[in-house]
């Protein structure tokens, strides 16, 4: 079996909000890549042995004191290098070009016009010598470095794309990684496949083969325990590990009473009954509700739920005397965001339930078979492993569950009401064909009462808010325009079928300024 990591792209991050998108576009070309900070030691870069390097954009000017830079030896490695936005400016400066503040800052759509020999990299990118692109910059290259030629320009950036084909060095001022650049995926695919010579070995089937071989090699005949939540990540991790080592895996499913309607039974049916995975179910609703009593702060609730999960999981796993490994469904964005929080290069908005949340005294070895994968890759291998389509492609669900979709204090009454309302909402989205067009949808319980009229009588009951968003990357999101007739039907069903609700509202805020989840 070929080594699916042998051909790989190194992405150096200069602080762009789009850097993860670059990595996802490379992976979509079926090529492995890793994202590292710009100040990665050159010895580590050389040891990584990249087939090509991409320098990301960033918020700073190359002339600012302390502006990010890379080891000069990087350009002597002899592998193709693509600089995007700040990366292009940095490369230009390194090779003797000049960068100046633009007379007019450029943010948004622009038309890229070819003005020279496009070369291999632009094969399929231009249509009749033009291509719409997305710009986000203040500085631009004013003098092209010796040996480089200008390939394309926009009305505001006369030097918008440069290349030195002999040394395989390329720079673009626009952002090919974002969806607003319509043929951007073709551009990145061409760079990694044609320019860098990667053959596209990073496919679901080969990822599974590689992961199974590595798990068997690392684990041997030892036993593994895994905290199964029913979410996509832990479910795919469980199925993958089970394929590798079978009965050596034991899953502990902690039902915290904050799951979706009938979710606990669905988890047991999928894994214990259909796949034959050993699953220990712990019904811990009372313990979680008792621990959350009186607490309304969102971050405190997250920590209480996460801490109690670890405590209960610890109790159950201690009964499995011969376990040597703890498996987690950690995925690549968890790793990136955790590293960013530790280095101070990313702002920690919400605490994560994976990566860095393990007790220091833990004696078990850690097994994280998904830690190199993005969510869409996890879903793809989940289907390849035979997990139910509806489980694999269900919308994201937060680690603390309904605990952060019940605003303020968590009570059993609130959780029961929310479960029913959410189930009706999701059922209607499926039946109307909207579910798979929406990136994430859910109901939120508001602990306020409003006056209503039902059956000629006055009511004073709770409010539920419905949320549905469209997004490609979950960094930004727009609200989903559900048709009025669908909203009316969903609202009518919830009010008529869920005792305790007499008002339903629809959240039409985007991210930013709002977040997707309410807490």
* Residues 372, 179, 49, 91, CA torsion sign: negative
For 473, the token pair is 């990357």
233 is in an annotated binding site: yes
How far is 308 from 258, CA to CA, in rounded Å? 13
How far is 153 from 159, CA to CA, in rounded Å? 5
For β-strands 223-227 and 149-153, DSSP reports them as: unpaired
How far is 418 from 462, CA to CA, in rounded Å? 10
232 is in an annotated binding site: yes
State the pTM of this model.
Answer: 0.85
Catalogue the long-range contacts made by 98-103 (C-beta closer than 8 Å, 24 or more residues apart).
98/141, 98/142, 98/143, 99/61, 99/62, 99/63, 99/139, 99/140, 99/141, 99/142, 100/139, 100/140, 100/142, 101/61, 101/138, 101/139, 102/137, 102/138, 102/139, 102/140, 102/156, 102/157, 103/156
How far is 429 from 328, CA to CA, in rounded Å? 31
Q: 399: left (phi > 0), else alpha (psi -120 to 50), else beta?
A: alpha
Task: Note the CATH number of domain 204-388.
Answer: 3.40.50.620
For β-strands 8-13 and 32-37, DSSP reports them as: parallel
235 is in an annotated binding site: yes
| pLDDT score for 49 | 96
DSSP state of 260: P
Per the residue annotation, which of 30, 137, 140, 175 is the catalytic one? 175
For 464, the token pair is 């539920």
How far is 135 from 155, CA to CA, in rounded Å? 12
| pLDDT score for 139 | 80
DSSP secondary structure letters along 46-88:
HHH--SEEEE---SS-TTSTT-----GGGGGS-S-EEEETHHH
Q: 43: left (phi > 0), else alpha (psi -120 to 50), else beta?
A: alpha
| pLDDT score for 251 | 95
Q: Please check whether the domain covering 8-195 is classified as CATH 3.40.720.10.
A: no
Catalogue the long-range contacts made by 484-489 (C-beta closer than 8 Å, 24 or more residues apart).
486/428, 486/432, 486/434, 489/428
Measured in degrees and rounded to the nearest 5, phi and psi for residue 495 equal -65, -35
The C-alpha angle with vertex 283 and arms to 278 and 289, in degrees rounded to 5, equals 145
User: Could you give the residue range(s) of every CATH 3.40.50.620 domain in the chain?
Assistant: 204-388
Q: Among residues 36, 117, 79, which one has the least CA distance to residue 197?
A: 79
Per the residue annotation, which of 33, 140, 160, 177 is the catalytic one? 177
User: Could you give the residue range(s) of every CATH 3.40.50.880 domain in the chain?
Assistant: 8-195
Q: Among residues 276, 239, 484, 514, which one has the least CA distance to residue 386?
A: 239
In the Cβ-directed half-sphere of 475, how many Cα atoms lie within 13 Å? Answer: 13
How far is 241 from 86, CA to CA, in rounded Å? 41
What is the second-level CATH architecture of the domain 412-506? 2-Layer Sandwich (3.30)
Residue 117: active-site member: no
The C-alpha angle with vertex 30 and arms to 72 and 14, in degrees rounded to 5, equals 30
Per the residue annotation, which of 33, 85, 196, 198 is the catalytic one? 85
230 is in an annotated binding site: yes
Q: Among residues 264, 177, 180, which one has the least CA distance to residue 229?
A: 264
Q: Which stretches of the chain drop beneath a pLDDT of 50?
A: 341-358
| pLDDT score for 378 | 95
Residue 175: active-site member: yes
How far is 151 from 140, CA to CA, in rounded Å? 15
380 is in an annotated binding site: no
DSSP secondary structure letters along 359-416:
-TT--SEEE-TTTT--HHHHHHHHHHTT--HHHHTSPP--TTGGGGTB-SS--HHHHH
234 is in an annotated binding site: yes
| pLDDT score for 374 | 93
| pLDDT score for 504 | 98
User: Could you give the residue range(s) of every CATH 3.30.300.10 domain in the chain?
Assistant: 412-506
| pLDDT score for 156 | 80
Measured in degrees and rounded to the nearest 5, phi and psi for residue 65 equal -60, 130
Residues 70, 72, 77, 80, Cα dihedral to 10°: 60
């Amino acid at each position: 079996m070929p080594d699916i990591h042998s051909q790989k792209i190194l992405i150096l991050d200069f602080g762009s909000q789009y850097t993860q998108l670059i990595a996802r576009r490379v992976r979509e070309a079926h090529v492995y890549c890793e994202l590292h900070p710009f100040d990665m030691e050159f010895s580590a870069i050389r040891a990584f042995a990249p087939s090509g390097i991409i320098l990301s954009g960033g918020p700073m000017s190359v002339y600012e004191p302390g502006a990010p830079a890379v080891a000069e030896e990087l350009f002597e490695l002899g592998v193709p290098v693509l600089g995007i936005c700040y990366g292009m400016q940095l490369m230009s400066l390194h090779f003797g070009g000049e960068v100046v503040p633009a007379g007019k800052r450029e943010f948004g759509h622009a038309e890229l016009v070819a003005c020279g020999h496009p070369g291999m990299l632009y094969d399929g990118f231009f249509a009749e010598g033009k291509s719409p692109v997305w710009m986000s910059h203040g500085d631009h290259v004013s003098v092209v470095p010796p040996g480089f030629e200008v390939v394309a320009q926009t009305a505001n950036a006369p030097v918008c794309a440069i290349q030195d084909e002999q040394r395989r060095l390329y720079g673009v001022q626009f952002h090919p990684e974002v969806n607003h650049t319509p043929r951007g995926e073709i551009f990145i695919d061409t760079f990694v496949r044609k320019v860098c010579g990667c053959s596209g070995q990073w496919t679901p089937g080969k990822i599974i083969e590689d992961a199974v071989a590595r798990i068997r090699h690392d684990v041997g005949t030892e036993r593994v325990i895994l905290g199964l939540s029913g979410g996509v990540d832990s479910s795919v991790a469980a199925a993958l590990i089970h394929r590798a080592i079978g009965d050596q895996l034991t899953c502990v499913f902690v039902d915290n009473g904050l799951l979706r309607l009938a979710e606990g039974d669905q988890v047991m049916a999928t894994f214990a009954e259909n796949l034959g995975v050993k699953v220990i179910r712990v019904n811990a609703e009372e313990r979680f509700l008792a621990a959350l009593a009186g607490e309304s702060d969102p971050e405190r609730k997250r920590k209480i739920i996460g801490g109690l999960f670890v405590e209960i999981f610890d109790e159950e796993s201690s009964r499995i005397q011969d376990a040597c490994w703890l498996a987690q469904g950690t995925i690549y964005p968890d790793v990136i965001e955790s590293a960013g929080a530790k280095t101070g290069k990313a702002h920690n908005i919400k605490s994560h339930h994976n990566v860095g949340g393990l007790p220091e005294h833990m004696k078990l070895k850690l097994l994280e078979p998904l830690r190199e994968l993005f969510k869409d890759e996890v879903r793809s291998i989940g289907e390849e492993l035979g997990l139910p389509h509806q489980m694999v492609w269900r919308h994201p669900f937060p680690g603390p569950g309904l605990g952060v979709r019940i605003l303020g204090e968590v009570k059993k009454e609130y959780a029961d009401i929310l479960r029913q309302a959410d189930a009706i909402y999701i059922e209607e989205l499926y039946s109307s064909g909207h579910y798979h067009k929406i990136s994430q949808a859910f109901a939120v319980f508001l602990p306020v009462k409003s006056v209503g009229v039902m059956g000629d009588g006055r009511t004073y009951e709770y409010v539920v808010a419905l949320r549905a968003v469209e997004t490609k990357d979950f960094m930004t999101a727009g609200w989903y325009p559900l048709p009025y007739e669908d909203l009316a039907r969903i609202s009518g069903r919830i009010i008529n079928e869920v005792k305790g609700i007499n008002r339903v509202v629809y959240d039409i805020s985007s991210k930013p300024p709002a977040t997707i989840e309410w807490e």
